[in-house]
Structure 1
Amino acid sequence: MTVPKTAAEAKQLVDKLWSYCHVLRHDGVSTIDYVDQLTLLLFLKMAEERAGRTAFGGGAQIVPKQLSWQTLLDADAKELKQQYEKILEKLGEHPETALGLIYQSAENKIRDPATLRRLIVDLVDKVNWSLTGVDIKGDAYEALLEKGAEDVKSGAGQYFTPRPLIDAMVRCVQPRPDDTIADPACGTGGFLLAAHDYIQRHHTKDLTAEEAGHLRGLGISGVELVHGTARLAQMNLLLHGIGESAGKAQIDVRDALARPPRADERASLVLANPPFGRKSGFSSVDEFGKVTREDAGYDRSDFWVTTSNKQLNFVQHIALQLKIDGRAAVVVPDNVLFEGGAGETLRRRLLTDCNVHTLLRLPTGIFYAGGVKANVLFFDAKRARPETPWTSELWVYDLRTSQHFTLRQNKLAAHHLDDFVDRYHRREESDRFRRFTYDELVARDKVNLDITWLSDNDTEELPPPDVLAQEIVEDLQVALTEFAAVADALQLAATEREGNTQEP
């Protein structure tokens, strides 16, 4: 049985896991489905390993014996597929638990019993996952998710935020053991994992039993709209030692914007990269492939402004989810910074009610959705003080001008963000880091926070032709995606009109 002990061995394990994805593609299993299927099998294997241990808290029978991993190994070729599908059905009967969330509505996408047996016996069973160490099995799983994100056709990239960016945001806000940490659009859980890892690395020696229980319980939680993605997030947390399989699920499957946060959902730290979309009139596709139009705002009496723009709504929601003095670091597209109407109203209210202290302008070429222009907005929640705005100054760091990244040849790395993190804490100006007062911000047209002062010619030459060509391709892909969304919305509208004109 293989027990990888180094990062190199962990990479070899990931490469082996990934090789089976290409095999399964011939059976019609997509990239994201393959990661999903591995999620379901890995948990069964790890539960079996824990049940067989006699020390360090082992011995617990997490999964009933009649639904255990061993029953898959014992099944013959004819029984295997039937037994696996029985396991999926039975383990999903209590969706309020972490285990139930993982297996709720789970389907066996591997139709060939021989292929399923190869995956179980030749791949997953060959590794003792419980002995690999949390970091290795966690890194292996995240590497699979990253590989899935690289497959643009699978749609996995919409859930993936570059790890160097996540880590930089976490290094800025510095999570604490007593924090209640939330992500209202958690995807596969990258921000939650990074926050937990930061606490483990910086506070393990002084972590109290109460704080440890807080982190294992619901001190870390997320909301995710798509159930399949929520399953990946919950499994990702469990693989990293966060939560208990029989305990309450840390991932809530719902639309975070549909209602105000309850008192028990308030957070002292929110980290998020909400989904990028467009305003009213564009269509969206749900997990069942149904196309709908987003032409109405959320009916939220607590919102500062009514709008159908989801990015503006997520900013409002996060600001209202924070406890007093709670911190937020949120990835937002450029339109949140400059859009008029509801956008201007939101920015004025945010500057007044919160301390909006830092803005990081991100370079292009770092997201799997091509051509995305985004930023990270850092702000703190404060008590109501209408007579005096809480924001006194906004520090803006321009990492976009003259920075040209791609997803392969020139990937964003941690060292590219080190200077920002350092200056975030020291508040020291530089060519790329400048301070703007509240009076300067509100004097700008529509309180436009899309602030630039550098030009490409100031610092370096234009990028090489291959990089420019890739940027053009990415911009065209974005344009085609938006045209397709418009076409779908028009087709849906035409269908609705046709239905309305027919006689009942």
Structure 2
Amino acid sequence: MSENTSSIVSKVWSFCNVLRDGGVSYGDYLEQLTYLIFLKMAEEYRKPPYNRDIGIPEKYTWDNLKQQRGAELDTRYKELLEELGQKPGMLGQIFLKAQNKVSDPAMLYKIIDMIDKESWVMMGVDTKGEIYEGLLQKNAEDTKSGAGQYFTPRPLIKVMVQCLRPEPMKTIGDPCCGTGGFFLAAYDFLTSNYRLDREQSRFLKNKTFGGNEIVAGTRRLALMNMFLHNIGEIDGEPMISNSDALIADPGYRYDYILTNPPFGKKSSMTFTNEEGEQEKEDLTYNRQDFWTSTSNKQLNFLQHIHTILKTGGQAAVVLPDNVLFEGGAGETIRKKLLETTDLHTILRLPTGIFYANGVKANVLFFEAKPASKNPWTKEVWIYDYRTNVHHTLKKNPMKYSDLEDFIKCYNPEIHFSRKETWSEEATEGRFRKFSYDEIVARDKTNLDIFWLKDKSLADLDNLPDPDILANEIIENMEASLASFKEIMATINGEDEGN
């Protein structure tokens, strides 16, 4: 990090800490930075050598705003947010339903002054990205805000991208993109591994990425995150839709899908009954392109991903354990996935890597195939990075280096030359393959397969640290409680929600 970059980051964080003391959350501060940096960049684009009209009325330009003080600044800023939220294109989407969360005009002016001292258009993408991604991570760590569910660990994202190895002039989709982490990692991979010509660079900037995010605040952060990383145009149309991806087949297809569908098994909607009481009802999507109907969110996203993936397209999807073993619709979908795609790899993830507790997840890697009478999946390779692995977010977070052995075993460039690290003699090996016949012979086509022995159960000397044990106990209890609530909801004929 350069001295100038370090100075900017330090200023951004110093204001963040002061505002926190005044009751402004990381998320609120992040939103205000989004509005103000966008305004400053729009002002820079308005002037030579760019001379671009972004559509901001003169009364609400950056130069006008920074001349205001005290109550006048507070009033002008609120008017600005409301006015710009009604504009078309990227401008309107960034400011959609925007509100001022900085109640102290003096502090607001200090933030404006800090932003004004930098040339954001000319600033390096790495610098802007580092500032914004750092704030996104801090926001995710604020467990009370619930923002963690929209933040996939960056080392895991990087590993998934390294395995898919996206190529230039190909499209990349994420139907539940959160703050845009997968897009940015794919962008970094493409710019780092290829010498892009002008046409490829334009395609990467404007046509490569597309997705959905239904949470307005999260979508705003994703749009700004991408824009600060030089993806999209300040006066262009947003690449991320605010519609529910599961409602219908959008009609377009992607070469790659990288995604982590939202946590929680059930999709539901809330309505007011005749007595004026709030009720929840399971939401089942009636789509002809789905293999089966279910209210399970992850199963529906898996079916949707199959729909929007081009023939020959590749997907890497983070999914919870229940997708691997659940009966009924789950079994039907697993069988169809094995038949219509080459489901070649499953990475079993450890607990303690997500901001939401109680999550036991996996990454499924598969390639879409054309129609065939015979199943496309011949064998599934499973890498167990869960058994005897202990991570916590604060003391022992998962790093990219922790999964380098998985990437080596995955062998992204030459799949057919993979080798198992497990054998009858090497029983500690984490990489093992199972044939299609072995899998479909299992009860309910269960893909939740593991073979390593848990050492902590057999050897007290190998027990992890007490804080890790405590976290694992909490996660297991929360996961069990969530399952029990779902059972009770089923018994009572109602959904308790997520």
Any idea what the Cα deviations from partners look like across 1:349-400, whole Å, max 9, x if unmatched? 0000111111000111000001210000001111111x21011111111111
1:71 and 2:60 are equivalent in the alignment:
no
Partner of 2:209: 220
Q: Would you say 1:405 and 2:391 are equivalent positions?
A: yes
For structure 1, the residue ranges without an aligned partner over 5 or more in a row are 1-5, 496-504
Alpha-carbon distance in 2 for matches of 1:79, 1:484: 51
Which of the residues 105, 128, 147 maps onto 1:113?
105
- Aligned residues of 2:486 and 2:495 also touching (Cα < 8 A): no
Q: Which moved more, 1:485-494 or 1:36-45?
A: 485-494
State the partner residue of 2:225.
236
Structure 2 match to 1:467 = 468
TM-aligned CA distance change 1:485 to 1:24, over 3 Å: farther
Change (3 A) 1:482 1:339: closer
Give the corresponding residue for 2:274: none
Preserved contact between residue 146 and residue 160 of structure 1 (Cα < 8 Å): yes
Asked if 1:82 corresponds to 2:75, the answer is yes
Candidates 173, 181, 184, aligned match of 2:172: 181
Partner of 1:318: 305
Inter-partner Cα distance in structure 1 for 2:81 and 2:487: 38
Q: What is the CA–CA distance in structure 2 between the aligned matches of 1:490 and 1:40, rounded to whole Å?
A: 47
Paired amino acid for 1:112: D
For residues 44 and 351 of structure 2, the distance between their equivalents in structure 1, rounded to whole angstroms, comes to 44
Query: Structure 1's 337 and 478: CA in aligned 2 closer, same or farther, altered over 3 A?
Result: closer
What is aligned with 1:35? 30
- Distance 1:278-1:11 versus aligned 2 partners, 3 A rule: farther
Residue 83 of structure 1 and its aligned partner are, at CA, apart by 1.7
Identity of aligned residues (%): 51
Match of 2:264 in 1: 277
Within 5 Å, give how 1:376-391 maps onto structure 2.
376-385=363-372, 387-391=373-377
| Residue of structure 2 in register with 1:502 after alignment | none
Provide the secondary structure at the position in 1 that maps to 2:282.
coil
Matches within 5 A, 1:255-404: 255-262=244-251, 265-279=252-266, 293-385=280-372, 387-404=373-390
Compared CA separation, residues 448 and 169, structure 1 to 2 (3 A) = same
332-341 or 103-112, which moves further after superposition? 103-112
| More displaced 10-residue stretch of structure 1: 321-330 or 100-109 | 100-109
Question: CA 1:149/1:487 → structure 2, altered by over 3 Å: closer, same or farther?
Answer: farther
Secondary structure of the corresponding residue to residue 38 of structure 2: helix
- Counterpart contact for 1:40–1:102, Cα < 8 Å: yes
Change (3 A) 1:216 1:33: same
Q: Distance in 2 between matches of 1:492 and 1:449?
A: 29
What is the match of residue 139 of structure 1? 130
- Number of matched pairs: 475
Q: Which amino acid aligns with 2:68?
A: A
Q: Deviation of residue 7 (structure 1)?
A: 5.5
**Which residue is equivalent to 2:401?**
415
Q: Is the 8 A contact 1:11 1:140 kept in 2?
A: no
Helix, strand or coil: the match of 1:270?
A: strand
Q: TM-score, normalised by structure 2?
A: 0.89
Tell which deviates more after alignment, 460-469 or 441-450.
Answer: 460-469
Letter in 2 for 1:357: H
For normalisation by structure 1, the TM-score amounts to 0.88
How far is the alpha carbon of 1:242 from its aligned partner?
0.5
Q: Which residue of 1 aligns with 2:425?
A: none
RMSD of aligned alpha carbons: 2.8
Q: Which amino acid aligns with 1:422?
A: K
Unaligned runs of 5+ in 2: 272-276, 422-428
Question: Cα 1:273–1:493, aligned 2, differ >3 Å: closer, same or farther?
Answer: closer
Which one is further off, 130-139 or 376-385?
130-139
1:283·1:485 contact (CA, 8 Å) conserved in 2?
A: no
Question: Contact 2:256–2:309 at 8 Å: present in 1 too?
Answer: yes
- State whether residues 281 and 494 of structure 2, in contact with CA within 8 Å, keep that contact through their aligned partners in structure 1: no
Alpha-carbon shift at residue 208 of structure 1 (Å): 3.4
Kindly state the Cα deviation for residue 218 of structure 1 after the two structures are TM-superposed.
3.0
The corresponding residue for 1:20 is 15
User: How far apart in 1 are the matches of 2:463 and 2:184?
Assistant: 37
Amino acid at match of 1:157: G
Q: Is the 8 A contact 2:280 2:495 kept in 1?
A: no
Shift of 1:481: 6.7
